[in-house]
Amino acid sequence: MLDYDRLRNLSLPEVRHQYDEKHTILYALSVGLGQDPMDERQLDYVDHRRDLVSMPSMAVVLGYPGLWLAGVGIDLSRVLHGEQDITLHKPLPVSGIVIGATRVTDVIDKGAGKGALIVSEKRICLEETGELLATTRNTSFLKGYGGFGGPSGAGGAPHAPPDTEPDFVVDLGTRPEQALIYRLNGDDNPLHADPESAKQAGFDRPILHGLCSFGVICHALIRVLAKYDNARLKSMKLRFSAPVYPGETIRTEIWQCGSFRSRVVERDVVIATNGLATFGR
């Protein structure tokens, strides 16, 4: 059973994260940038000989606190990624030293026999100046952990997309080995590499990281709404609704206002809903 008081008062150590241009390129490659060798706009994210820029979604791996849920007794095979938000306060440097400070902001009890939600927030700051670069918010769904006596709900209603046809549709393929590449960013949950761990979690085979899908969707958004200008994306949020298997195609339907949703083409399954991105000029 979850210990509500322990989780709400949990003190996670700050993470000092030093990275360089190779790490920035690795992240971009791991979410599919560079698959079209003739698209020079993508090369700005993966070719160190150019004026390299960072993917805004890289905020999710900077200052990563690791699989800390396992450290408080949570069975990782029962953990699903529910929602993800990022807010960019300025473009992420392509190299540097940052401090990631993560804290639990909410623990929600969905009821006995159901599940629980744990919401955490990470603030990413430059070590040298303390300047805030990005804030991320993660909601994890814990299957079967409900009924511990905590609060039953919090937060506002999810963003509703327009009831019109999308203005853009972007198909981006993933690769069969993409989860294995994405793991090099620091998330080595065996669910994404080990067939037996995937089966224990209820999947036929290893699935793609939710945050890898998040990066692929971010690519689609900056492609059509920002013309690959990474500095224009200010925020992005979505709710995950189904997993992606490596090798599948992610289709993102996008409205000019920044609303979006995504599905897997091969299975016609919606994998991300209630999406909203905001852009600056």
Phi-psi group of 190: left, alpha or beta (phi > 0 → left; psi -120 to 50 → alpha; rest → beta): alpha
108 catalytic residue (yes or no): no
Q: Which of 63, 82, 100, 210 is catalytic?
A: 210
271 catalytic residue (yes or no): no
100 catalytic residue (yes or no): no
- DSSP secondary structure of 243-279: ---TTPEEEEEE-TTSEEEEEETTTTEEEEEEEEEEE
At a CB cut-off of 8 Å and minimum separation 6, what does 270 contact? Answer: 241, 242, 261, 262, 263
Phi-psi group of 73: left, alpha or beta (phi > 0 → left; psi -120 to 50 → alpha; rest → beta): left
Q: Which of 63, 187, 250, 254 is catalytic?
A: 187
d(CA 240, CA 114): 18
CB neighbourhood size of 161 (10 A): 18
Q: Which of 99, 108, 207, 250 is catalytic?
A: 207
At a CB cut-off of 8 Å and minimum separation 6, what does 198 contact? Answer: 191, 192, 204, 205, 206, 207
Phi-psi group of 32: left, alpha or beta (phi > 0 → left; psi -120 to 50 → alpha; rest → beta): left
82 catalytic residue (yes or no): no
Q: Which of 23, 192, 209, 219 is catalytic?
A: 192
Catalytic machinery residues: 187, 192, 207, 210
